[in-house]
Amino acid sequence: MPIQTIESRRLYRQIADQLSRLIDKGEFRVGARLPSERDLSEQLGVSRPSVREALIALEVEGLVEVRGGAGVFVCARKPVNASHRAEVSQPGPFDLIRARWIIESEAAALAATHATPEHLQRLKSALHDMQRHATHAPEAVAADERFHLCLAEASGNSALLMVVQQLWEARTGPLYTQMESHFSGEAVWKQAVEEHGELLQAVAGRDPRAAREAMRKHMKNAEVRFASGWKPGEH
């Protein structure tokens, strides 16, 4: 028998695939509401963040619809492009946020030491573009990305910049974007803009410790929003 590649699938992908199979078998029919996030977590023996990522993956693939305050409902299956499904197998939003907490906080600390006047001007320009928008519009997210990539570049470490670029490729992918859509709004965006202002102030003030803590605060707030802002089926 030929040797076959061993597939290592992310936990949320395993959960999503199991729920998908149950839907295909008719355990959950079109229009039916799935068990609550809490119940799924207990039945599957996994964390609620992993269940949430799985439900978002199924929503991206058109299998379910998340209705805030009402629950998660099964939709009629639609054809899914294979390459698009591969994108929904990328690292989950919570893993991305935790990785960014580690990596971008150190990049920010280094930027506070190594940023040039040109870097500071580009950071100010990106922040200004973010301030022009009230919510997570595509142009606002693009400005957000410019800010973070400039910060990584200002660290003076090309390997750090490469890693941050890869993290942002996943951050702007369908899974993270769909998760974010359930938490976006004027208040959330306003808070994010203020946090970027704190980052810029720390970097411009040549304060590595403050820059590191500002980035950690920014990432922690994102994780808290994703973990507690949406409670389908529990209202």
Which one is predicted more confidently, 192 or 88? 192
The predicted pLDDT at position 153 comes to 98
Residue 55 has pLDDT above 70, yes or no: yes
Residue 184 has pLDDT above 90, yes or no: no
CATH, domain range 93-228: 1.20.120.530
Q: Range with the lowest mean pLDDT among 83-87, 121-125, 156-160, 189-193? A: 83-87
Of the chain, the percentage scoring pLDDT greater than 90 comes to 74
The predicted pLDDT at position 82 comes to 53
* Per-residue confidence band for 85, with pLDDT thresholds at 50, 70 and 90: low
Q: Mean pLDDT throughout 21-29?
A: 92
**How many residues would you count in the chain?**
235
Count of other CB atoms within 10 angstroms of residue 13: 21
Q: Mean pLDDT throughout 169-189?
A: 89
Helix (H), strand (E), coil (C) string for 91-103: CCHHHHHHHHHHH
**Domain residue limits, the chain:** 11-81, 93-228
Query: Which is nearest to 232 in space by CA: 45, 63, 36, 48?
Result: 36
Question: Would you say domain 11-81 falls under CATH 2.60.40.10?
Answer: no
Which one is predicted more confidently, 4 or 146? 146
Residue 218 has pLDDT above 80, yes or no: yes
Note whether 198 and 108 are within 8 A (CB): no
The predicted pLDDT at position 232 comes to 44
Q: What pTM, to 2 d.p., does this model score?
A: 0.85
> To the nearest whole number, what is the mean pLDDT of the chain?
89
Contacting residues for 158 by C-beta, under 8 A, at least 6 apart? none
Note whether 36 and 73 are within 8 A (CB): no
Q: Which long-range contacts (CB under 8 A, 24 or more apart) does 41-45 make?
A: 44/15, 44/18
The predicted pLDDT at position 4 comes to 45
* Per-residue confidence band for 2, with pLDDT thresholds at 50, 70 and 90: low
Residue 128 has pLDDT above 90, yes or no: yes
DSSP for the chain reads ----PPP---HHHHHHHHHHHHHHTTSS-TTPBPPPHHHHHHHHTS-HHHHHHHHHHHHHTTSEEEETTTEEEE-------HHHHHHTTSPPHHHHHHHHHHHHHHHHHHHHHH--HHHHHHHHHHHHHHHT-SS--HHHHHHHHHHHHHHHHHTT-HHHHHHHHHHHHHHTSHHHHHHHHTT-SHHHHHHHHHHHHHHHHHHHTT-HHHHHHHHHHHHHHHHHHHHHS--TT--
The predicted pLDDT at position 154 comes to 98
The predicted pLDDT at position 8 comes to 57
* Per-residue confidence band for 79, with pLDDT thresholds at 50, 70 and 90: low
The predicted pLDDT at position 88 comes to 63
